[in-house]
């Protein structure tokens, strides 16, 4: 129990200080589930934050209004891959989301 709370606190810290993103209370269910899955996979808090942002980005319809949000956060994800326990998986997912949102992967790295 305390391990999960500590992990979630560390994920929230990464989201706030690295992504400049603070989840709203309506997102806590998603955050809790992402943290649970990340703990089961024994990955870092950076992976947990990246996984959470993947869910947020994936939930957006690709359009001009969401493109800046996606571009900003995918750039941050690419910059954090060195902290990831699963950098190849995270990189591949980021590439897929960039393409889905009409972004040039090379410009984000």
Q: Which domain holds residue 64?
A: 2-108
Count of domains for the chain: 1
| pLDDT(84) > 80 | yes
Per residue in 45-69, pLDDT tens? Answer: 999 999 999 999 999 998 889 999 9
Confidence tier at 106 by pLDDT (50, 70, 90): confident
- For the entire predicted model, the pTM comes to 0.93
Do 59 and 29 contact (CB within 8 A), yes or no?
no
Angle CA 85–89–92, to nearest 5: 140
Do 52 and 23 contact (CB within 8 A), yes or no?
yes
Q: How many CA atoms lie within 13 A of 60 on its CB side?
A: 20
Confidence tier at 17 by pLDDT (50, 70, 90): very high
């Amino acid at each position: 129990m305390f391990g999960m709370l500590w992990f979630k606190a560390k994920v929230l810290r990464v989201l706030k200080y690295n992504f400049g993103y603070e989840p709203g209370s309506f997102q806590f269910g998603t955050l809790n589930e992402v943290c649970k899955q990340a703990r089961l996979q024994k990955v870092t808090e950076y992976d947990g934050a990246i996984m959470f942002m993947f869910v947020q980005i994936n939930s957006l319809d690709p359009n001009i209004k969401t493109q800046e949000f996606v571009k900003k956060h995918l750039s941050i994800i690419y910059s954090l891959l060195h902290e990831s326990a699963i950098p190849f998986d995270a990189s591949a997912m980021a590439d897929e989301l960039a393409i889905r949102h009409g972004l040039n992967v090379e410009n984000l790295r």
